Structure 1
Amino acid sequence: MARQHTDRDEIVDLDRAYTLGTWTRQRDFDPTEIVDTDGPRIVTADGDSILDFSSQYVCTSLGYDADRVADAIAEQVRTVPYVSPGWSTEPRARLSEKLAEITPGSLQKTFYSTSGTEANEVAFKIARAYTGKHKILSRYRSYHGATAASLSASGDPRRVAQGPDIQPEVPGMVKGPDPYAYGSSLDPDQSLAYIDEMLELEGGTVAAVLVEPLVGSNGVLTPPDDYLARLQEIAHAHDALLICDEVMTGFGRTGEWFASELYGAEPDIITMAKGLTGSYQPLAATTVSAEIAAYFEDTLLNQGHTFSGHPTACAAGVAAIETYEAEGLVENARSIGEYLTTELDSLAARHPSVGERRGIGLHQGLELTKSTESREPFEERSDKVSGRTTVLDEVGAHALENEVYFYTSVNTIVVTPPLTISEAEVDEAIEALDEALAISDAAMDE
């Protein structure tokens, strides 16, 4: 039941007074209070019921009515709410077994943390220990987390915004090109050749190549079908591991349990969070191959975490996977994803400001452009941290006025609804977006 307020501004005022908002200048921190949820919708203190078509930060994959997960959390809190990681609990053991079953290839053992950022940090340490090398090669259009090492590995504009005087980048992070055919000077084949040459010229010092199989907040970049398998071959030829960051794309979002499976790759290490519990609890995982796991039988795994394998969070993870399976949500993402793709392609054909639709399943994006000929973006990469109101902001705000929420980032409207979504709800979202895109059409240069 929604909580009632005598003063609906009270909570926001308290929040602004005592909370540091994320990724923003604090003068611009002006959040909307959410008091209830219903299926794929969030309800504001003003009573607006908003269809969440980005799953917040691409994380509420189960929507907001996953009773099996809620019940598992409640039961675990009443029995063993927490013990330190040196003890064993059934939820952690069951979840680790399940992850070994559903992850691709020979991935076998898992280390738990609380966020995708931390999962990637763990992956770096494991890769460096296992290979005896120190460099991590990632890509310019990427995001891998907010802490020092994971942000240094990111190509996201937020890495540049931290500035060397505030937070120097962690040494050993090398950047390569992306499979971005729409707005890059390199086509995907050329980008692979470039990375191959980079690994050669780095002289055998690269421990791992780190990639999002299907890029998220930096543009929903969709690689060619053979890209990831070829990238793995290149990495292995240089005795480097392949780390797949599936924090966004894991747990059915693309119509497979993990996006790596779409592309025929078997990563040496996979990182995950978000959909692991449907975001009902903060939980992340770093899962490694049997070969890497065997290495640490006699070698110190120099990594720890107070909340590693938190039993309540792991109980949520087990229940979340059971929900994906029992409700056929991976299959729903595949079938509804096909419908969503058709509707987005139709939308793009009607609106000249849509330069390209990208994505698979329920992991989609629309890149907007001022000019179809020059492919000039409305939003520069630096606008992610500039504070400037962009045309994309205006498009998103107009859709929100019609009670549909879309996350926008780096000139892309991110379309990533919960896996529980229906065709009727897709139609509702498309209608709101259709009207909002009139704003970007009117702002074009041609």
Structure 2
Amino acid sequence: MTEPHDDLDAYALELDQAHIFHSWSAQAPAHAAAVSIKSGLGTRVWDYAGNEYLDFSSQHVNVNLGHQHPALLEAIRVQSQLLATISPPTANITRGEAAKRLAAIAPEGFNRVFFTNGGSDANENAMRMARLYTGRDKILSAYRSYHGNTGSSIVATGDPRRIPNEFARGHVHFFGPYLYRSEFWATTPEQESERALQHLRRVIEAEGAQTIAAVLLEPVPGTPGIMLPPPGYLAGVRELCDEQGILLIFDEVMCGFGRTGEWFAFDAFDARPDLVTFAKGVNSGYVPIGGVIIDDPIAAHFNDRVFPGGLTYSGHPLAAATVVASLDTIASEGVLEHVRDISENHLGPALHALAERHPSIGEVRGRGVFWALELVTDRATREPVPAATMGRIRAGLVERGLLPFVSENRIHVLPPCIVTPAEIAEAMEIYDAVLTLELG
């Protein structure tokens, strides 16, 4: 029970500072949460003081169908009254229907799903499957990547958060394509693709192809900056893997389920993975769930071999019910089509127009409702805007009623898939005002 309190907003922040140990953060009061959230609806949330915010972060890029979607809430209500929980070895129709729907939207030949609690352990178990299936040890992944915070997933992650957590073995990193800050002196997308693929080929050769179980990639890297793969890159990675008997794992945790206007981000590119990991947008995060969609030959490998992995809440019925409701809603409400229209006719043009007004925006990139503004002090040198300025930008956006996703020198623009043109226009006014104040 909540104790009576005159100022619930202050009380929420007080509780947070006193008792919550935050992820990726120092724990002193100066680093504590600055916003409390009491309720939400659609693309908006409210704090305990009644202040309203546009959620253009989709929380952790997971609330694809927005806050409090009635179909997902009803699914939770119905399932909770029927069966709140059941152990993984038990057959359950809700769990089975969730897996069936996931198999239906995956490429042909994917018929089995291993459910996990979220994206980190989805990647953890996909890597485990790859190692057991191939008999090899190493996993290759990009430096500009984020794959989670469990033992192997954080080491597979390329960004610096892995460095204090490098306790897992067998991980090797390479540079993926990123034309705006090319590691390969490329000047065109085609050059970037060709040279990034040659770099990956050399890493495979130098590490010994016979030691590599899988390449783990986000088809569109999210946390590192919403970097669309240049033409031919994903298909080229697939070809390299096929040449050497290496599996290809696509991490769709952040970029899947409508975020790019497709069921899976890789659907827009000519590449078929061997394993697909998912979480977040599969059910908008209403109940924690993730998993691995498994190509038939890999699934068959374990027909008479024990898969040495499992989780108490694998395929939790409340979570599975929200997966069924979410995938059905995305299909019945035309969410993918809506996202494509929003991207092509509203969000994309609005962000490019914003860049025309602000020289501090060095590049606009993205698709669907998955965009990034890269902020620079000088377009010629591409010097990143410093961290202190980005902190003020973030605070300014919140003060004006927008919850942002700010990473390094970037503003990631990540509204729910159900965002409207009017809400995009409202957000653009806020971005415009803050950028004008902080960067001129």
Sort the TM-score into its range (normalised by shorter chain): over 0.9
Return the alpha-carbon distance in structure 1 between the equivalents of residues 160 and 51 of structure 2. Answer: 33
SS at 1:92 equivalent:
helix
For residues 86-121 of structure 1, what are the alpha-carbon distances to aligned partners after superposition, in whole Å with 9 as ceiling and x for unaligned?
Answer: 101111100111111112342221101111000000
- Point out the more displaced range, 59-68 or 128-137: 59-68
Select the residue among 126, 131, 134 that pairs with 1:131: 134
Give how far 1:327 is off: 1.1
In the alignment, what sits opposite 2:262? 256
C-alpha change, 1:319 and 1:365, in structure 2 (3 Å) is same
C-alpha change, 1:259 and 1:24, in structure 2 (3 Å) is same
Residue 309 (structure 2) pairs with residue 303 (structure 1): yes
Return the alpha-carbon distance in structure 2 between the equivalents of residues 105 and 281 of structure 1. Answer: 28
Residue 402 (structure 2) pairs with residue 404 (structure 1): yes
Contact kept in structure 1, 2:342 and 2:420, CA below 8 Å: yes
Select the residue among 105, 110, 124 that pairs with 1:107: 110
In the alignment, what sits opposite 1:181? 179
Q: TM-score, normalised by structure 1?
A: 0.93
Residue 6 (structure 2) pairs with residue 6 (structure 1): yes
Residue 278 (structure 2) pairs with residue 278 (structure 1): no
Give how far 1:337 is off: 1.2
Select the residue among 40, 51, 68 that pairs with 2:43: 40
Select the residue among 399, 410, 413 that pairs with 2:411: 413
Residue 370 (structure 2) pairs with residue 363 (structure 1): yes
SS at 1:334 equivalent:
helix
Contact kept in structure 2, 1:135 and 1:174, CA below 8 Å: yes
For residues 260-280 of structure 1, what are the alpha-carbon distances to aligned partners after superposition, in whole Å with 9 as ceiling and x for unaligned?
Answer: 111121110010100111111
Select the residue among 78, 83, 86 that pairs with 1:83: 86
SS at 2:177 equivalent:
coil
In the alignment, what sits opposite 1:384? none
Residue 150 (structure 2) pairs with residue 147 (structure 1): yes
Aligned AA (1:438): T
C-alpha change, 1:391 and 1:364, in structure 2 (3 Å) is same
In the alignment, what sits opposite 1:382? none
Select the residue among 197, 216, 219 that pairs with 2:225: 219
In the alignment, what sits opposite 2:389? 391
Give how far 1:83 is off: 1.0
Return the alpha-carbon distance in structure 2 between the equivalents of residues 352 and 399 of structure 1. Answer: 19
- What RMSD in Å do the two structures reach over aligned CA positions? 1.6
Select the residue among 316, 324, 329 that pairs with 2:330: 324
In the alignment, what sits opposite 1:58? 61
C-alpha change, 1:412 and 1:4, in structure 2 (3 Å) is farther
Give how far 1:15 is off: 2.0
In the alignment, what sits opposite 1:122? 125
For residues 321-345 of structure 1, what are the alpha-carbon distances to aligned partners after superposition, in whole Å with 9 as ceiling and x for unaligned?
Answer: 1111111111111110112111111
Return the alpha-carbon distance in structure 2 between the equivalents of residues 91 and 137 of structure 1. Answer: 35
Contact kept in structure 2, 1:406 and 1:415, CA below 8 Å: yes
SS at 1:34 equivalent:
coil
Contact kept in structure 2, 1:394 and 1:439, CA below 8 Å: no
Give how far 1:424 is off: 0.5
SS at 1:231 equivalent:
helix
Select the residue among 153, 156, 163 that pairs with 2:159: 156
SS at 1:369 equivalent:
strand
Contact kept in structure 2, 1:353 and 1:440, CA below 8 Å: no
SS at 1:61 equivalent:
coil
- Point out the more displaced range, 12-21 or 310-319: 12-21
In the alignment, what sits opposite 1:377? 384
Return the alpha-carbon distance in structure 1 between the equivalents of residues 398 and 19 of structure 2. Answer: 27
Return the alpha-carbon distance in structure 2 between the equivalents of residues 346 and 4 of structure 1. Answer: 48
Give how far 1:440 is off: 4.8
In the alignment, what sits opposite 2:188? none
Contact kept in structure 1, 2:126 and 2:249, CA below 8 Å: yes
Contact kept in structure 2, 1:180 and 1:188, CA below 8 Å: no
In the alignment, what sits opposite 1:26? 27
Select the residue among 192, 195, 199 that pairs with 2:197: 192
- Point out the more displaced range, 183-192 or 319-328: 183-192
For residues 32-90 of structure 1, what are the alpha-carbon distances to aligned partners after superposition, in whole Å with 9 as ceiling and x for unaligned?
Answer: 22111122101011211100011011101111131111111111111111111010111
Return the alpha-carbon distance in structure 1 between the equivalents of residues 277 and 321 of structure 2. Answer: 19
Return the alpha-carbon distance in structure 2 between the equivalents of residues 327 and 69 of structure 1. Answer: 13
SS at 2:130 equivalent:
helix
Contact kept in structure 2, 1:343 and 1:430, CA below 8 Å: yes
Give how far 1:4 is off: 8.9
Contiguous gaps of at least 5 residues in structure 2: 185-191
In the alignment, what sits opposite 1:434? 432
Return the alpha-carbon distance in structure 2 between the equivalents of residues 314 and 373 of structure 1. Answer: 50
C-alpha change, 1:405 and 1:234, in structure 2 (3 Å) is same
For residues 403-422 of structure 1, what are the alpha-carbon distances to aligned partners after superposition, in whole Å with 9 as ceiling and x for unaligned?
Answer: 11211112211111001101
Return the alpha-carbon distance in structure 1 between the equivalents of residues 421 and 329 of structure 2. Answer: 20
Contact kept in structure 2, 1:104 and 1:258, CA below 8 Å: no
Return the alpha-carbon distance in structure 2 between the equivalents of residues 65 and 34 of structure 1. Answer: 13
In the alignment, what sits opposite 2:189? none
Give how far 1:178 is off: 1.4
For residues 295-354 of structure 1, what are the alpha-carbon distances to aligned partners after superposition, in whole Å with 9 as ceiling and x for unaligned?
Answer: 111221111100001111101110111111111111111110112111111111111111
Return the alpha-carbon distance in structure 2 between the equivalents of residues 251 and 80 of structure 1. Answer: 26
Q: State percent identity of aligned pairs.
A: 39
Contact kept in structure 1, 2:404 and 2:411, CA below 8 Å: yes
C-alpha change, 1:374 and 1:175, in structure 2 (3 Å) is same
Return the alpha-carbon distance in structure 1 between the equivalents of residues 99 and 292 of structure 2. Answer: 10
In the alignment, what sits opposite 1:345? 352
Return the alpha-carbon distance in structure 1 between the equivalents of residues 428 and 166 of structure 2. Answer: 43
Return the alpha-carbon distance in structure 1 between the equivalents of residues 355 and 300 of structure 2. Answer: 49
Return the alpha-carbon distance in structure 1 between the equivalents of residues 423 and 235 of structure 2. Answer: 35
